[in-house]
Chains A and B, each alone.
Chain A
Amino acid sequence: MDDLTKEFLAESQEGLDRMERCLTDLELRPDDTRLVDEIFRAVHTIKGTTGFLGFARLERLAHAGEHLLGSLREGRLSVTSDLISGLLNLLDGLRAILGLIEQTGVEGTRSGDEDGELIAELALLNGAMAPETIGPELLHTVVDIDGGVHARKTAEDSKGGEASRVASSAAENSVRNGGGNDKTLRIDVDVLNRMMNLVGELVLTRNQLLQSDKTAGNFPELAQRLDSITADLRETVMQARMQPMGNLFGRFPRMVRDLARTCGRNVRIEFSGQETGLDKSLLEAIKDPLTHAVRNAIDHGIEAPADRVLAGKPAEGCVRLKAFQQSGSVVVEVCDDGGGIPIERVREKALERNLVTTEQAAGMSEREILQLIFLPGFSTAAAVTTVSGRGVGMDVVRANVEKVGGSVEIESGRGEGTTLRLRVPLTLAIVPSLIVRSAEQYFALPQNALVELVAVPQKDFHALVKQIGSAELYCLRERLLPMVRLDRLLGLEVTPSEASNNLSMAVLEADGCRYGLVVDELMSPEEIVVKPLSLVLREKGLFSGATVLGNGTLALILDVAAIAARAGVRPVEDESSKLDRDKPAMQAGEPFLIFEDRLQEQRALPLDVVERIESVTVDRIEYVEGQPLLQYRGILLPMKDDGGVLAEMEVSRQRGDHPTITVLICRKRDQRAGIVARQVLDVVTTRALERNASGNTGAEIAVIHERLVRIDRSFETTSPDCVGAA
């Protein structure tokens, strides 16, 4: 295939992608002439170039489409659902031919490949709808076209059927492959230029390095420069690989439209965060899981329009796709406002399929039951439809996302809808991790699985490490944590001198399994470049890759979940022991900032209301009618001082000191206020224990680090359950 054809294919695919988006938009805004122009342009460009390249079949189809679009543009036709469907069929037809050209180099001229039926359909749309809008002087020509079409249609009926089948299967294919765009990438020329500059600089530095020997005075300087160029280059390449989420979202409006029609639903799709960047390879990796999730949301989530009206909801359901960055990872949410996941049905189904035992199910919380839908072979759809419900579903979604180092969460409220949250790392290639050493070998632990590090001094060993049979358990804050000795698990030879040393343990969590991995030494955190391992070494599944460390040695990257599975660590939910009582509280809940205001009394503020923590000297606090105020960045902050800290500090100020106080700047909608804290203690994720009925008006209390903490919700605008959704 020559370059010209390749370029034409890429360009046309892009044009068609745009056309697809415009078509779905057009259905919502039929009066937008710009959309019609855009669609017209895409088809027109294809037609123009194909004639030049000699693809007659493509040209004929594009011509028919252009003709119809021309009528639409001149206002002779009005936008109807049938028209949109016809144009989408045209789009599929064009895509199919483009796909054929891409695969075989020719467009296929066999009689079976003719697009007679499609062209006829387009002409029919052009003609059949025309009489409503055009004047009588044009009518006879239209009728003429119409008649001719019918005659041809009967003649081509037999082969037409086959053609449409071929076209539809090919279209399916091309949709699945993302229209062949996977192999090419658009990059800003600026980025490319910067890359080239950096490579040039790299070459120059290398030349200097080769000429100077190690003893030369400028060696450290050269090394430094090499380091900074490498960092810059890495960042630029990463930037080039970043793709906006919008590229992925673009395929959904069409899919939603088609699905909604097949399932008899009325669905609207909304997007936010299209500009969020994600590594190209990751974007590809979450494409299928996301498609699956959207499909699920429409087929299982959104109810039929009649049911929705009965439930007091608008007939039109809504699927929201939301992407945003959150601390080093990208979160993609698929929310629907459908019926939610029926917890009871999930429980029944899980029992029916023997995924859990009756006793297990009885002891499970709603949240835990919800997690069951991720088990292989689970499907709650009452009927198996063409769209979904074959029992392959959420487990595949989770497996795919976890393959790239991400995670999946699900939330659902009965009658309120379901939110599926995919969390993927920003980039695959570079992973922050902790290097550990065990039996003279280095291993890398991904930071995202790391909960905490524990050092056990030799003298405390017997007090903290309990043994049941051959299993060792570690007492970590009143909980027994299973210990896994890496050297034993991997069958490494242990030198006895090292075994007697202090114990180093990394507490890891994956797939709901929490365990302590005992190693010889915890080394430094390092950003590692992940290299794939040979298949035969991956088979065991314990290592997810390898990396070259700063000191030149190789380290294997441990798969935290696989280690747990091999060591036999079960997810905490499965254990019926009371020891894990506080586990859900540790995991679920919301983050709180813990601080002390009154002496010996701790208070918790939801973390998202705290904007900043400032340290200010006491003399900056001014008083108006006894109300303490702080001038802060051009606004006046009223101060809340429940603990009487200001008065205490005022006393010491008058003695001549310059004491500072800690002020938590909190926000409630547009209002800000300061809270004077004695000291800030911690950030903890927890949930309120109980409404304290005996005390004053239902204060919320939580137990954090074995101490009672009062939760202060005076700054929250919404109830805690809605914080995530807002």
Chain B
Amino acid sequence: MKSRNDEILDLIQKDHGDLGSLCSLYVGSEIFGIDTKKIREVLGERRPQRVPLAPAFVSGVVPYRGEVLAAVNLRSLLGMESCNQSHCVLVMEDVVGAERFGLVVDGVGGVVTVSGRMLEPNPSTLEARAKWLFEGAYKMEERLMVRLNPQRLCPSRLAETALFRTSMKGETDASLDRR
């Protein structure tokens, strides 16, 4: 829910050329951004506990303030090979009607201030998965920063769309004894 204050703040920001602050994230060689208001906490380096037979985009569970959160792996969402390097876990802000969840990325940069004029819409040639996750890209000085749609990263939303159902590796169903 948006409070009145936030609304006023938004209005002021619109006047000043649609300024917004994004948190920059690194995955592989790419930079992504998520609205800072949508991030609850950056947990730092954590290794999520694997969950057997989980969907490929969930890299496991992480404990967070007495809760156990599913951690969505951005790498596997983007179809990249999983790497054994360090993982950084973010906890996303609650959305009404959805569960709280974590996001696993390679690293977290910092807060970047962007203006709406810098945002380019998704190119029409983008593949379907990326089109679903991305909200366009900001033209930064050196490179592009892709804006992610935080709501669509929610595990239940991901499970709903057929886009991510087939994982890269294919689900390992090891119940061999089953006839």
Contact = CB atoms under 8 A, between A and B. Distances in A.
B67 A531 contact: yes
Interface string A529-552: 001111111011011011110000
Q: Does more than half of chain A's interface fall in helix, strand or loop, or is it mixed?
A: mixed
Interface in A455-503: 470-471, 484, 488-492
Nearest to B55: A536
A567 B51 contact: no
A550 to B, nearest CB: 13
Interface string B56-88: 001001110011111000000000000000000
A534 B156 CA distance: 8
Interface stretch (B4-12, B103-111, B129-137, B168-176): B168-176
Given A488-B174, A531-B68, A567-B177, A536 B52 contact: no
A547 B58 CA distance: 18
A470 B53 contact: no
Given A489-B174, A491-B174, A556-B51, A536 B179 contact: no
A723 interface: no
B138 interface: no
B54 interface: yes
Interface residues of A, number: 30
A573 B69 CA distance: 39
Interface in B120-179: 155-156, 158-159, 172-179
Nearest to A548: B63
Interface in B26-53: 49-53
A568 B99 CA distance: 32
A441 interface: yes
B159 A554 contact: no
Nearest to A489: B175
A694 interface: no
Contacts of B52: 441, 490-492, 542, 556
Contact of B70 (A492, A536, A545): A536
A568 B178 contact: yes
A553 interface: yes
Contact of A566 (B54, B63, B70, B175): B175
B178 A554 contact: no
Contacts of A484: 177
B178 A566 contact: yes
Given A471-B177, A554-B49, A534 B155 contact: yes
Interface string A543-583: 10111100001101000000000111000000000000000
B177 A470 contact: yes
Nearest to B70: A534
A534 B55 contact: no
Contacts of A488: 174-177
A533 B70 contact: yes
Contacts of B58: 534, 536-537
A255 B62 CA distance: 46
Given A546-B61, A554-B63, A568-B177, A537 B172 contact: no
Bin the interface of chain B by size. Answer: 20 to 34
A537 B54 contact: yes
A554 B61 CA distance: 8
Contact of B101 (A441, A470, A534, A568): A534
B163 to A, nearest CB: 14
Contacts of B51: 533, 537, 543, 556
Nearest to B157: A536
Contacts of B66: 531
Given A531-B68, A532-B68, A553-B49, A539 B174 contact: no
Contacts of A491: 52-53, 172-174
Nearest to A439: B52
Nearest to A531: B68
B166 to A, nearest CB: 15
A545 to B, nearest CB: 8
A630 to B, nearest CB: 55
Contacts of B172: 491
A471 B178 CA distance: 9
A559 B175 CA distance: 16
Contacts of A441: 49-50, 52
B178 A536 contact: no
Contacts of B50: 441
Given A491-B53, A554-B61, A536 B173 contact: no
B104 to A, nearest CB: 14
Nearest to A568: B178
Contacts of A539: 159
A623 B128 CA distance: 94
A347 B173 CA distance: 38
A537 B176 contact: no
Contacts of A471: 177
Interface of B: 49-55, 58, 61-63, 66-70, 99, 101, 155-156, 158-159, 172-179
20 contacts: A441-B50, A491-B174, A492-B52, A531-B66, A531-B67, A531-B68, A534-B101, A535-B99, A536-B58, A536-B155, A536-B156, A536-B158, A548-B68, A554-B68, A556-B49, A556-B52, A566-B175, A567-B175, A567-B177, A568-B178
Given A470-B176, A531-B68, A537-B58, 18 more contacts: A484-B177, A490-B174, A491-B173, A533-B51, A533-B68, A534-B58, A534-B68, A534-B101, A535-B156, A535-B159, A536-B54, A537-B54, A537-B155, A540-B54, A554-B68, A556-B52, A566-B178, A568-B179
